[in-house]
Amino acid sequence: GFIRQSNGHIEIKSEVGQGTTVSMYFPRSDPSVVAPAAARRRTMPRGSERILVVEDEDAVRAIVGEQLGSLGYDVALARNAEHALELLRASKFDLVLTDVVMPGRLNGKALAEEIQRLWPDTRIVFMSGYSENMLMRDGRLDSGVLLLAKPYVKADLARIIRNALTANGRNGFGSAAAHGQA
């Protein structure tokens, strides 16, 4: 079983009227094996750029904002596409991380198209817990569209944001500059 697979062993001691003691022994973990995983967590891609998070779910918006802030980014939060456009008119952002499905006049794709028209240098990353069909053409994601599928782990968020910000060429949405799905 598990103990043998782990190169361990088990001892069982039993005394009438005293009870039974079961002891499991496992080999010590090798610190050189454990350290790289911890080092990877500490070396997640970081940055200091301004990022606008557009998400209609309050809790999700707050968590994403906290995660990006902990990676060093300067983060602003918008509750929907219209709010995002207000913030974009008032301040410059390097990247917009937007949910795809949102209530209101504009969904994430329509917001991205408007951003591309008004602020073509602003990078865009989509996030969605739903199907990517809204971003697809001919059964595939458009070239350059970056999609972070929910649920995700913080390392995936860190990687896709850093990749979007460092990609050569124009914005990842609507151009061939970025490299497809992340």
Only one residue has tokens 């860190």, namely 158
Residue-averaged pLDDT of the chain: 83
Question: The pTM is what?
Answer: 0.70
Interatomic CA distance for residues 36 and 82, integer angstroms:
43
Domain of 96: which CATH number? 3.40.50.2300
152 domain residue, yes or no: yes
Do the strands 136-137 and 140-141 form a parallel or antiparallel pair, or are they unpaired?
A: antiparallel
Residue 28 confidence class, pLDDT cut points 50, 70, 90: confident
Interatomic CA distance for residues 36 and 18, integer angstroms:
45
15 domain residue, yes or no: no
177 domain residue, yes or no: no
Q: Above 90 in pLDDT, residue 95?
A: yes
Rounded mean pLDDT of 162-181? 60
158 domain residue, yes or no: yes
Only one residue has tokens 């454990």, namely 34
75 domain residue, yes or no: yes
pLDDT at 131: 54
Rounded mean pLDDT of 112-128? 94
Question: What total number of domains does the chain contain?
Answer: 1
Do the strands 123-128 and 136-137 form a parallel or antiparallel pair, or are they unpaired?
A: unpaired
4 domain residue, yes or no: no
Residue 69, classed as helix, strand or coil, is: helix
pLDDT at 83: 98
pLDDT at 127: 92
96 domain residue, yes or no: yes
Residue 136 confidence class, pLDDT cut points 50, 70, 90: low
Q: What would the pLDDT profile of 18-27 be if each residue is shown by its tens digit?
A: 999 988 888 8
27 domain residue, yes or no: no
For residue 59, the enclosing domain spans 47-166
Count of helices and strands (H, E) across the chain: 6, 9
Rounded mean pLDDT of 52-67? 96
